[in-house]
Structure 1
Amino acid sequence: MLPVNPTFENLTPEVVAKTIDHALLRPDMTTQDVISGCQLCAQYKTASVCVRPSDVSLAAKELKDTGVLVGTVIGFPHGTTTTQAKVAESLQALDDGAVELDMVINIGRLKSNDINYVRNDIAAVVQASKKRLSQCCIKVILECCLLTDDEKIKACGAAQDAGADYVKTSTGFSAGGATLEDLRLMRQCTDPSRVRVKASGGVRSLDELIACLQAGADRIGASATAAIVDEMRSRKQSQ
Protein backbone atom coordinates (compact mmCIF):
# COMPACT_ATOMS: atom_id res chain seq x y z
CA MET A 1 0.00 0.00 0.00
CA LEU A 2 1.28 3.45 -0.91
CA PRO A 3 2.28 5.85 1.88
CA VAL A 4 0.27 9.08 2.06
CA ASN A 5 3.32 11.04 0.91
CA PRO A 6 5.47 8.66 -1.13
CA THR A 7 9.21 9.35 -0.92
CA PHE A 8 12.33 7.33 -1.56
CA GLU A 9 12.75 6.96 2.20
CA ASN A 10 9.32 5.41 2.87
CA LEU A 11 9.00 3.32 -0.30
CA THR A 12 10.37 -0.20 -0.82
CA PRO A 13 11.28 -2.02 -4.04
CA GLU A 14 8.23 -4.26 -3.52
CA VAL A 15 5.85 -1.32 -3.16
CA VAL A 16 7.36 0.42 -6.19
CA ALA A 17 6.88 -2.73 -8.28
CA LYS A 18 3.24 -2.91 -7.18
CA THR A 19 2.59 0.57 -8.60
CA ILE A 20 3.63 -0.52 -12.10
CA ASP A 21 1.45 -1.68 -14.97
CA HIS A 22 4.14 -3.16 -17.21
CA ALA A 23 3.38 -2.19 -20.82
CA LEU A 24 3.75 -4.68 -23.68
CA LEU A 25 1.98 -2.70 -26.39
CA ARG A 26 4.45 -2.06 -29.20
CA PRO A 27 2.96 -3.30 -32.49
CA ASP A 28 6.16 -5.11 -33.48
CA MET A 29 6.38 -7.27 -30.35
CA THR A 30 6.60 -11.00 -31.05
CA THR A 31 4.88 -13.73 -29.08
CA GLN A 32 8.20 -14.47 -27.38
CA ASP A 33 8.53 -10.79 -26.44
CA VAL A 34 5.14 -11.00 -24.72
CA ILE A 35 6.06 -14.22 -22.90
CA SER A 36 9.36 -12.73 -21.74
CA GLY A 37 7.57 -9.58 -20.57
CA CYS A 38 5.09 -11.65 -18.57
CA GLN A 39 7.94 -13.61 -17.01
CA LEU A 40 9.55 -10.33 -15.99
CA CYS A 41 6.26 -9.22 -14.38
CA ALA A 42 6.06 -12.48 -12.45
CA GLN A 43 9.67 -12.09 -11.31
CA TYR A 44 9.26 -8.46 -10.19
CA LYS A 45 5.67 -8.90 -8.96
CA THR A 46 4.26 -5.86 -10.72
CA ALA A 47 0.66 -4.76 -10.25
CA SER A 48 -0.24 -5.88 -13.74
CA VAL A 49 0.83 -6.40 -17.30
CA CYS A 50 -0.90 -4.41 -20.04
CA VAL A 51 -0.88 -6.31 -23.32
CA ARG A 52 -2.44 -5.94 -26.74
CA PRO A 53 -5.95 -7.44 -27.00
CA SER A 54 -4.78 -10.39 -29.08
CA ASP A 55 -2.26 -11.29 -26.37
CA VAL A 56 -4.66 -11.45 -23.41
CA SER A 57 -5.16 -15.21 -23.47
CA LEU A 58 -1.40 -15.76 -23.70
CA ALA A 59 -0.70 -13.38 -20.80
CA ALA A 60 -3.42 -14.95 -18.66
CA LYS A 61 -1.87 -18.37 -19.20
CA GLU A 62 1.66 -17.15 -18.45
CA LEU A 63 0.64 -15.26 -15.30
CA LYS A 64 -1.76 -17.76 -13.79
CA ASP A 65 -1.32 -17.99 -9.99
CA THR A 66 1.43 -15.31 -9.94
CA GLY A 67 -0.67 -12.52 -8.42
CA VAL A 68 0.06 -10.29 -11.42
CA LEU A 69 -3.14 -8.98 -13.00
CA VAL A 70 -3.75 -9.02 -16.75
CA GLY A 71 -4.87 -5.83 -18.45
CA THR A 72 -5.39 -4.72 -22.01
CA VAL A 73 -6.33 -1.67 -24.06
CA ILE A 74 -9.69 -0.79 -25.58
CA GLY A 75 -10.24 1.51 -28.56
CA PHE A 76 -6.47 1.89 -28.69
CA PRO A 77 -4.72 4.14 -29.49
CA HIS A 78 -7.11 6.75 -30.94
CA GLY A 79 -10.41 6.10 -29.15
CA THR A 80 -12.40 6.50 -32.35
CA THR A 81 -14.03 3.09 -32.59
CA THR A 82 -17.77 3.03 -31.93
CA THR A 83 -19.16 2.51 -28.47
CA GLN A 84 -20.53 -0.87 -29.54
CA ALA A 85 -17.07 -1.92 -30.75
CA LYS A 86 -15.48 -0.82 -27.46
CA VAL A 87 -18.03 -2.81 -25.50
CA ALA A 88 -17.49 -5.90 -27.64
CA GLU A 89 -13.72 -5.56 -27.33
CA SER A 90 -14.03 -5.19 -23.56
CA LEU A 91 -16.21 -8.27 -23.14
CA GLN A 92 -13.90 -10.34 -25.34
CA ALA A 93 -10.91 -9.23 -23.26
CA LEU A 94 -12.64 -10.22 -20.02
CA ASP A 95 -13.59 -13.60 -21.47
CA ASP A 96 -9.94 -14.09 -22.48
CA GLY A 97 -8.70 -13.45 -18.94
CA ALA A 98 -8.20 -9.69 -18.56
CA VAL A 99 -9.36 -8.01 -15.35
CA GLU A 100 -8.19 -4.46 -16.14
CA LEU A 101 -9.24 -2.45 -19.20
CA ASP A 102 -7.56 0.80 -20.29
CA MET A 103 -10.00 2.47 -22.70
CA VAL A 104 -9.30 5.55 -24.80
CA ILE A 105 -11.93 8.29 -24.80
CA ASN A 106 -13.28 9.60 -28.08
CA ILE A 107 -10.90 12.55 -28.26
CA GLY A 108 -12.59 14.22 -31.22
CA ARG A 109 -15.99 14.17 -29.52
CA LEU A 110 -14.45 15.65 -26.37
CA LYS A 111 -12.83 18.44 -28.38
CA SER A 112 -16.21 19.02 -30.04
CA ASN A 113 -17.60 19.56 -26.51
CA ASP A 114 -19.92 16.57 -26.92
CA ILE A 115 -19.54 15.59 -23.28
CA ASN A 116 -22.68 13.45 -23.28
CA TYR A 117 -21.18 11.23 -25.99
CA VAL A 118 -17.91 10.91 -24.08
CA ARG A 119 -19.69 10.10 -20.82
CA ASN A 120 -22.05 7.59 -22.44
CA ASP A 121 -19.16 5.94 -24.32
CA ILE A 122 -17.32 5.34 -21.04
CA ALA A 123 -20.47 4.32 -19.15
CA ALA A 124 -21.36 1.69 -21.73
CA VAL A 125 -17.97 0.01 -21.29
CA VAL A 126 -18.12 0.31 -17.49
CA GLN A 127 -21.64 -1.09 -17.18
CA ALA A 128 -21.20 -3.98 -19.62
CA SER A 129 -17.79 -4.92 -18.24
CA LYS A 130 -18.78 -4.85 -14.58
CA LYS A 131 -21.91 -6.85 -15.37
CA ARG A 132 -19.65 -9.50 -16.94
CA LEU A 133 -16.98 -9.29 -14.20
CA SER A 134 -17.89 -7.20 -11.18
CA GLN A 135 -14.32 -6.80 -9.91
CA CYS A 136 -12.86 -5.62 -13.21
CA CYS A 137 -11.08 -2.26 -13.25
CA ILE A 138 -11.76 0.37 -15.93
CA LYS A 139 -9.11 3.01 -16.63
CA VAL A 140 -9.97 5.89 -18.95
CA ILE A 141 -7.15 7.26 -21.10
CA LEU A 142 -7.50 10.99 -21.77
CA GLU A 143 -4.47 11.57 -24.06
CA CYS A 144 -3.67 14.80 -22.23
CA CYS A 145 -1.11 16.04 -24.74
CA LEU A 146 -3.97 16.67 -27.20
CA LEU A 147 -6.25 18.45 -24.71
CA THR A 148 -6.60 21.84 -23.08
CA ASP A 149 -6.82 22.00 -19.31
CA ASP A 150 -10.55 22.67 -19.58
CA GLU A 151 -10.96 19.56 -21.75
CA LYS A 152 -8.95 17.48 -19.27
CA ILE A 153 -11.24 18.63 -16.45
CA LYS A 154 -14.34 17.80 -18.49
CA ALA A 155 -12.94 14.38 -19.41
CA CYS A 156 -12.18 13.60 -15.77
CA GLY A 157 -15.71 14.60 -14.82
CA ALA A 158 -17.19 12.40 -17.53
CA ALA A 159 -15.07 9.43 -16.45
CA GLN A 160 -16.04 9.88 -12.80
CA ASP A 161 -19.73 10.27 -13.59
CA ALA A 162 -19.59 7.16 -15.78
CA GLY A 163 -18.21 5.04 -12.93
CA ALA A 164 -14.64 4.57 -14.13
CA ASP A 165 -12.03 3.42 -11.61
CA TYR A 166 -9.09 5.42 -12.97
CA VAL A 167 -8.26 8.34 -15.21
CA LYS A 168 -5.01 7.92 -17.13
CA THR A 169 -2.80 10.51 -18.78
CA SER A 170 -1.74 8.96 -22.04
CA THR A 171 -1.53 6.05 -24.44
CA GLY A 172 2.23 6.46 -24.83
CA PHE A 173 1.70 6.54 -28.60
CA SER A 174 0.86 10.21 -29.21
CA ALA A 175 2.76 13.50 -29.05
CA GLY A 176 3.51 13.36 -25.33
CA GLY A 177 3.24 11.37 -22.13
CA ALA A 178 2.61 11.98 -18.46
CA THR A 179 3.42 15.36 -16.94
CA LEU A 180 3.36 16.33 -13.29
CA GLU A 181 1.07 19.25 -14.07
CA ASP A 182 -1.49 16.96 -15.68
CA LEU A 183 -1.33 14.50 -12.80
CA ARG A 184 -1.94 17.27 -10.25
CA LEU A 185 -4.85 18.59 -12.28
CA MET A 186 -6.42 15.14 -12.67
CA ARG A 187 -6.06 14.48 -8.95
CA GLN A 188 -7.56 17.86 -8.04
CA CYS A 189 -10.63 17.50 -10.24
CA THR A 190 -11.62 13.95 -9.27
CA ASP A 191 -12.82 12.45 -6.00
CA PRO A 192 -9.98 10.29 -4.60
CA SER A 193 -12.49 8.04 -2.86
CA ARG A 194 -14.00 7.16 -6.25
CA VAL A 195 -11.34 7.62 -8.94
CA ARG A 196 -7.62 6.91 -8.95
CA VAL A 197 -5.00 8.32 -11.30
CA LYS A 198 -2.56 6.55 -13.60
CA ALA A 199 0.52 8.12 -15.16
CA SER A 200 1.61 6.65 -18.47
CA GLY A 201 4.10 7.60 -21.13
CA GLY A 202 7.72 8.57 -20.60
CA VAL A 203 8.21 7.34 -17.03
CA ARG A 204 11.59 5.63 -17.32
CA SER A 205 13.44 6.22 -14.04
CA LEU A 206 12.88 5.77 -10.32
CA ASP A 207 12.95 9.49 -9.63
CA GLU A 208 10.35 10.10 -12.36
CA LEU A 209 8.13 7.39 -10.91
CA ILE A 210 8.35 8.83 -7.39
CA ALA A 211 7.61 12.33 -8.70
CA CYS A 212 4.48 10.98 -10.41
CA LEU A 213 3.34 9.33 -7.18
CA GLN A 214 3.89 12.57 -5.29
CA ALA A 215 1.84 14.44 -7.91
CA GLY A 216 -1.14 12.16 -7.27
CA ALA A 217 -0.63 9.02 -9.35
CA ASP A 218 -1.62 5.65 -7.90
CA ARG A 219 -0.39 3.50 -10.80
CA ILE A 220 2.40 3.98 -13.32
CA GLY A 221 2.38 2.60 -16.83
CA ALA A 222 5.97 1.78 -17.76
CA SER A 223 8.13 -0.51 -19.84
CA ALA A 224 11.37 0.23 -17.93
CA THR A 225 10.16 -1.85 -14.98
CA ALA A 226 13.37 -3.77 -14.36
CA ALA A 227 15.54 -0.65 -14.50
CA ILE A 228 13.25 1.24 -12.11
CA VAL A 229 12.94 -1.50 -9.50
CA ASP A 230 16.60 -2.50 -9.75
CA GLU A 231 17.60 1.13 -9.19
CA MET A 232 15.41 1.21 -6.08
CA ARG A 233 17.06 -1.93 -4.72
CA SER A 234 20.55 -0.69 -5.50
CA ARG A 235 20.03 2.70 -3.87
CA LYS A 236 18.42 1.15 -0.78
CA GLN A 237 21.33 -1.28 -0.38
CA SER A 238 23.90 1.53 -0.67
CA GLN A 239 22.35 3.57 2.16
Structure 2
Amino acid sequence: MNVAKMIDHSLLRPELTIADVAHGCEIAARRATASVCVRPSDVPFAVTALAGTGVLVGTVAGFPHGDTTTAVKAAETRSLVEAGADEIDMVLHIGRLRDGDAAYVRDDIAAVVAAAQGRVVKVILENAYLTDEQKVTGCRVAEQAGAHFVKTSTGFAPGGATLADIRLMRATVSPSIAVKAAGGVRTLDTLLTLHEAGATRFGATATETILDDFAARERGEHPTPPPSSDGY
Protein backbone atom coordinates (compact mmCIF):
# COMPACT_ATOMS: atom_id res chain seq x y z
CA MET A 1 0.00 0.00 0.00
CA ASN A 2 1.42 3.39 -1.02
CA VAL A 3 -0.07 5.71 1.58
CA ALA A 4 1.90 8.73 0.35
CA LYS A 5 0.20 8.55 -3.04
CA MET A 6 -3.19 8.81 -1.32
CA ILE A 7 -2.34 12.17 0.28
CA ASP A 8 -2.96 15.67 -1.07
CA HIS A 9 -0.69 17.70 1.22
CA SER A 10 -2.84 20.69 2.15
CA LEU A 11 -1.42 24.23 2.13
CA LEU A 12 -4.62 26.27 2.27
CA ARG A 13 -4.57 28.16 5.56
CA PRO A 14 -4.88 31.91 4.97
CA GLU A 15 -1.94 32.88 7.16
CA LEU A 16 0.67 30.83 5.26
CA THR A 17 3.64 32.76 3.93
CA ILE A 18 5.53 31.88 0.77
CA ALA A 19 8.21 30.39 3.02
CA ASP A 20 5.53 28.16 4.55
CA VAL A 21 4.36 27.10 1.09
CA ALA A 22 7.95 26.37 0.05
CA HIS A 23 8.40 24.20 3.14
CA GLY A 24 5.15 22.37 2.37
CA CYS A 25 6.22 21.72 -1.21
CA GLU A 26 9.54 20.38 0.07
CA ILE A 27 7.69 17.97 2.35
CA ALA A 28 5.45 16.81 -0.50
CA ALA A 29 8.42 16.27 -2.82
CA ARG A 30 10.49 14.46 -0.19
CA ARG A 31 7.60 12.22 0.87
CA ALA A 32 6.34 11.73 -2.73
CA THR A 33 2.71 12.56 -2.00
CA ALA A 34 0.07 12.51 -4.71
CA SER A 35 -0.14 16.28 -4.74
CA VAL A 36 -0.05 19.52 -2.87
CA CYS A 37 -3.25 21.52 -2.64
CA VAL A 38 -2.30 25.19 -2.57
CA ARG A 39 -4.14 28.49 -2.59
CA PRO A 40 -4.84 29.84 -6.09
CA SER A 41 -2.22 32.60 -5.81
CA ASP A 42 0.42 30.01 -4.92
CA VAL A 43 -0.05 27.83 -8.02
CA PRO A 44 2.78 29.38 -10.13
CA PHE A 45 5.19 29.07 -7.19
CA ALA A 46 4.22 25.43 -6.54
CA VAL A 47 4.50 24.51 -10.22
CA THR A 48 8.09 25.75 -10.23
CA ALA A 49 8.96 24.26 -6.85
CA LEU A 50 7.63 20.81 -7.76
CA ALA A 51 8.81 20.60 -11.37
CA GLY A 52 10.23 17.15 -12.07
CA THR A 53 9.19 15.66 -8.71
CA GLY A 54 6.11 13.76 -9.86
CA VAL A 55 3.99 15.58 -7.26
CA LEU A 56 0.91 17.14 -8.80
CA VAL A 57 -0.16 20.71 -8.14
CA GLY A 58 -3.74 20.98 -6.96
CA THR A 59 -5.66 24.08 -6.02
CA VAL A 60 -9.15 25.30 -5.17
CA ALA A 61 -11.98 27.18 -6.87
CA GLY A 62 -14.95 28.88 -5.20
CA PHE A 63 -13.18 28.20 -1.92
CA PRO A 64 -14.17 27.91 0.88
CA HIS A 65 -17.86 28.87 0.68
CA GLY A 66 -18.86 27.86 -2.86
CA ASP A 67 -21.08 30.88 -3.35
CA THR A 68 -19.25 32.79 -6.08
CA THR A 69 -21.05 32.89 -9.42
CA THR A 70 -20.64 30.11 -11.92
CA ALA A 71 -18.93 32.49 -14.32
CA VAL A 72 -16.37 33.45 -11.67
CA LYS A 73 -15.70 29.80 -10.76
CA ALA A 74 -15.18 28.94 -14.41
CA ALA A 75 -12.91 31.93 -15.02
CA GLU A 76 -10.92 31.11 -11.90
CA THR A 77 -10.52 27.53 -13.08
CA ARG A 78 -9.34 28.57 -16.55
CA SER A 79 -6.79 30.91 -14.97
CA LEU A 80 -5.52 28.17 -12.67
CA VAL A 81 -5.17 25.70 -15.53
CA GLU A 82 -3.20 28.29 -17.49
CA ALA A 83 -0.95 28.73 -14.43
CA GLY A 84 -0.19 25.00 -14.44
CA ALA A 85 -2.62 23.43 -11.97
CA ASP A 86 -3.15 19.70 -12.46
CA GLU A 87 -6.21 19.30 -10.22
CA ILE A 88 -9.07 21.55 -9.12
CA ASP A 89 -10.95 21.09 -5.84
CA MET A 90 -14.11 23.16 -6.21
CA VAL A 91 -16.79 23.91 -3.63
CA LEU A 92 -20.32 23.39 -4.91
CA HIS A 93 -22.96 26.00 -4.08
CA ILE A 94 -23.94 24.78 -0.63
CA GLY A 95 -26.98 27.06 -0.27
CA ARG A 96 -28.43 26.05 -3.65
CA LEU A 97 -28.00 22.39 -2.75
CA ARG A 98 -29.84 23.00 0.53
CA ASP A 99 -32.54 24.79 -1.49
CA GLY A 100 -33.04 21.63 -3.53
CA ASP A 101 -31.93 23.33 -6.75
CA ALA A 102 -30.07 20.35 -8.16
CA ALA A 103 -30.02 21.78 -11.69
CA TYR A 104 -28.15 24.91 -10.55
CA VAL A 105 -25.61 22.83 -8.63
CA ARG A 106 -25.09 20.45 -11.55
CA ASP A 107 -24.62 23.27 -14.07
CA ASP A 108 -22.23 25.09 -11.71
CA ILE A 109 -20.05 21.98 -11.45
CA ALA A 110 -20.27 21.26 -15.17
CA ALA A 111 -18.96 24.75 -15.97
CA VAL A 112 -15.88 24.13 -13.82
CA VAL A 113 -15.35 20.69 -15.36
CA ALA A 114 -15.43 22.27 -18.84
CA ALA A 115 -13.08 25.06 -17.80
CA ALA A 116 -10.64 22.50 -16.33
CA GLN A 117 -10.00 21.15 -19.82
CA GLY A 118 -9.57 17.55 -18.78
CA ARG A 119 -7.85 18.17 -15.46
CA VAL A 120 -9.13 16.28 -12.45
CA VAL A 121 -12.02 18.05 -10.71
CA LYS A 122 -12.94 17.20 -7.13
CA VAL A 123 -16.28 18.51 -5.85
CA ILE A 124 -16.40 19.53 -2.19
CA LEU A 125 -19.86 19.05 -0.68
CA GLU A 126 -19.10 20.50 2.79
CA ASN A 127 -21.08 17.75 4.50
CA ALA A 128 -21.21 19.48 7.89
CA TYR A 129 -24.04 21.64 6.53
CA LEU A 130 -25.99 18.91 4.71
CA THR A 131 -28.52 16.21 5.47
CA ASP A 132 -27.87 12.71 4.18
CA GLU A 133 -30.43 13.30 1.43
CA GLN A 134 -28.61 16.46 0.36
CA LYS A 135 -25.27 14.63 0.40
CA VAL A 136 -26.71 11.99 -1.91
CA THR A 137 -28.05 14.65 -4.27
CA GLY A 138 -24.73 16.48 -4.26
CA CYS A 139 -22.84 13.29 -5.12
CA ARG A 140 -25.24 12.41 -7.91
CA VAL A 141 -25.17 15.81 -9.58
CA ALA A 142 -21.37 15.94 -9.29
CA GLU A 143 -21.15 12.68 -11.19
CA GLN A 144 -23.70 13.83 -13.75
CA ALA A 145 -21.63 16.99 -14.29
CA GLY A 146 -18.49 15.00 -15.09
CA ALA A 147 -16.50 15.41 -11.88
CA HIS A 148 -13.79 12.90 -11.04
CA PHE A 149 -14.09 12.95 -7.23
CA VAL A 150 -16.61 13.85 -4.57
CA LYS A 151 -15.02 15.25 -1.42
CA THR A 152 -16.33 15.59 2.12
CA SER A 153 -15.13 18.95 3.34
CA THR A 154 -12.99 22.06 2.98
CA GLY A 155 -11.45 21.63 6.40
CA PHE A 156 -12.80 25.05 7.40
CA ALA A 157 -16.36 24.06 8.40
CA PRO A 158 -17.46 22.89 11.87
CA GLY A 159 -16.99 19.24 10.90
CA GLY A 160 -14.85 17.18 8.56
CA ALA A 161 -14.71 13.67 7.16
CA THR A 162 -16.69 10.98 8.95
CA LEU A 163 -16.85 7.24 8.43
CA ALA A 164 -20.59 7.39 7.85
CA ASP A 165 -20.19 10.05 5.17
CA ILE A 166 -17.48 8.12 3.31
CA ARG A 167 -19.66 5.03 3.29
CA LEU A 168 -22.66 7.03 2.06
CA MET A 169 -20.72 8.81 -0.67
CA ARG A 170 -19.04 5.63 -1.88
CA ALA A 171 -22.41 3.86 -2.05
CA THR A 172 -23.98 6.77 -3.94
CA VAL A 173 -21.52 7.27 -6.80
CA SER A 174 -20.52 4.76 -9.46
CA PRO A 175 -17.09 3.08 -9.55
CA SER A 176 -16.00 5.64 -12.16
CA ILE A 177 -15.90 8.44 -9.58
CA ALA A 178 -13.64 8.46 -6.52
CA VAL A 179 -14.11 9.75 -2.97
CA LYS A 180 -11.77 12.13 -1.15
CA ALA A 181 -11.81 12.62 2.61
CA ALA A 182 -10.70 15.93 4.07
CA GLY A 183 -11.06 17.64 7.42
CA GLY A 184 -9.76 15.89 10.51
CA VAL A 185 -7.56 13.30 8.78
CA ARG A 186 -4.67 13.69 11.22
CA THR A 187 -3.65 10.11 12.02
CA LEU A 188 -2.77 6.97 10.10
CA ASP A 189 -5.58 5.06 11.82
CA THR A 190 -8.14 7.59 10.61
CA LEU A 191 -6.78 7.42 7.08
CA LEU A 192 -6.80 3.62 7.01
CA THR A 193 -10.31 3.41 8.43
CA LEU A 194 -11.65 5.84 5.85
CA HIS A 195 -9.72 4.09 3.09
CA GLU A 196 -11.34 0.79 4.03
CA ALA A 197 -14.73 2.54 3.73
CA GLY A 198 -13.95 3.70 0.20
CA ALA A 199 -11.88 6.90 0.22
CA THR A 200 -8.81 6.85 -2.01
CA ARG A 201 -7.50 10.41 -1.56
CA PHE A 202 -7.03 12.35 1.64
CA GLY A 203 -6.48 16.03 2.31
CA ALA A 204 -4.02 16.28 5.17
CA THR A 205 -1.72 18.71 6.92
CA ALA A 206 -0.28 16.04 9.25
CA THR A 207 1.36 14.30 6.31
CA GLU A 208 4.71 13.60 7.92
CA THR A 209 3.15 12.25 11.12
CA ILE A 210 0.93 9.90 9.12
CA LEU A 211 3.76 8.66 6.91
CA ASP A 212 6.22 8.28 9.77
CA ASP A 213 3.67 6.14 11.63
CA PHE A 214 3.11 4.01 8.53
CA ALA A 215 6.84 3.49 8.03
CA ALA A 216 7.29 2.52 11.68
CA ARG A 217 4.51 -0.05 11.43
CA GLU A 218 6.03 -1.45 8.25
CA ARG A 219 9.26 -1.94 10.22
CA GLY A 220 7.30 -3.62 13.00
CA GLU A 221 8.04 -0.89 15.52
CA HIS A 222 4.39 -0.01 16.23
CA PRO A 223 1.65 -2.63 16.32
CA THR A 224 -1.32 -2.01 14.07
CA PRO A 225 -4.44 -1.65 16.26
CA PRO A 226 -7.47 -3.81 15.54
CA PRO A 227 -10.02 -2.20 13.19
CA SER A 228 -12.91 -0.34 14.76
CA SER A 229 -16.37 -1.62 13.94
CA ASP A 230 -18.15 1.71 14.26
CA GLY A 231 -15.74 4.56 13.65
CA TYR A 232 -12.30 5.82 14.47
Please give the TM-score of this superposition, normalised by the length of structure 1.
Answer: 0.91
Are the equivalent residues in 1 in contact too, given 2:11–2:37 (CA < 8 A)?
yes
What is the rounded CA distance, in whole Å, between the counterparts of 1:17 and 1:191 in structure 2?
A: 25
* Structure 2 partner of 1:222: 204
Q: Is 1:119–2:106 an aligned residue pair? A: yes
Residue of structure 2 aligned with 1:80, choices 55, 63, 67: 67
User: What does the per-residue CA deviation read over 1:137-157, in whole Å, with 9 as the maximum and x for residues that have no partner?
Assistant: 000000001000000000001
Q: CA deviation at 1:129?
A: 1.5
* Structure 1 partner of 2:88: 101
Residue identity matched to 1:148: T
Q: Is 1:189–2:172 an aligned residue pair? A: yes
Residue of structure 2 aligned with 1:64, choices 46, 51, 54: 51
Residue identity matched to 2:83: D
SS at match of 1:178: coil
User: What does the per-residue CA deviation read over 1:31-73, in whole Å, with 9 as the maximum and x for residues that have no partner?
Assistant: 0000000000000000000000000000000000000000001
Q: Is 1:148–2:135 an aligned residue pair? A: no
Q: CA deviation at 1:117?
A: 0.2
After superposition, where does 1:2-41 map in structure 2 within 5 Å? Answer: 11=1, 15-41=2-28
Residue identity matched to 2:139: C
Structure 1, unaligned stretches of length 5 or more?
A: 1-10
Please give the TM-score of this superposition, normalised by the length of structure 2.
Answer: 0.94
User: What does the per-residue CA deviation read over 1:116-146, in whole Å, with 9 as the maximum and x for residues that have no partner?
Assistant: 000000001101212xxx3x10000000010
What is the rounded CA distance, in whole Å, between the counterparts of 1:85 and 1:92 in structure 2?
A: 10
Higher relative contact order (CA 8 A, sep 6+): 1
Residue identity matched to 1:39: E
Q: CA deviation at 1:99?
A: 0.8
What is the rounded CA distance, in whole Å, between the counterparts of 2:131 and 2:97 in structure 1?
A: 11
SS at match of 1:103: strand
What is the rounded CA distance, in whole Å, between the counterparts of 1:139 and 1:42 in structure 2?
A: 22
Q: Is 1:160–2:143 an aligned residue pair? A: yes
Are the equivalent residues in 1 in contact too, given 2:75–2:115 (CA < 8 A)?
no
Structure 2, unaligned stretches of length 5 or more?
A: 222-232
Residue identity matched to 1:146: Y
What is the rounded CA distance, in whole Å, between the counterparts of 1:129 and 1:199 in structure 2?
A: 21
RMSD: 0.7
Aligned length: 221
After superposition, where does 1:37-52 map in structure 2 within 5 Å? Answer: 37-52=24-39
User: What does the per-residue CA deviation read over 1:130-189, in whole Å, with 9 as the maximum and x for residues that have no partner?
Assistant: 2xxx3x100000000100000000000100000000000000001100000000000000
* Structure 2 partner of 1:169: 152
Runs of 4+ in 1 over 4 A off after TM superposition: none
What is the rounded CA distance, in whole Å, between the counterparts of 1:168 and 1:186 in structure 2?
A: 9
Q: Percent identity?
A: 55
Q: CA deviation at 1:92?
A: 0.7
Are the equivalent residues in 1 in contact too, given 2:139–2:173 (CA < 8 A)?
yes
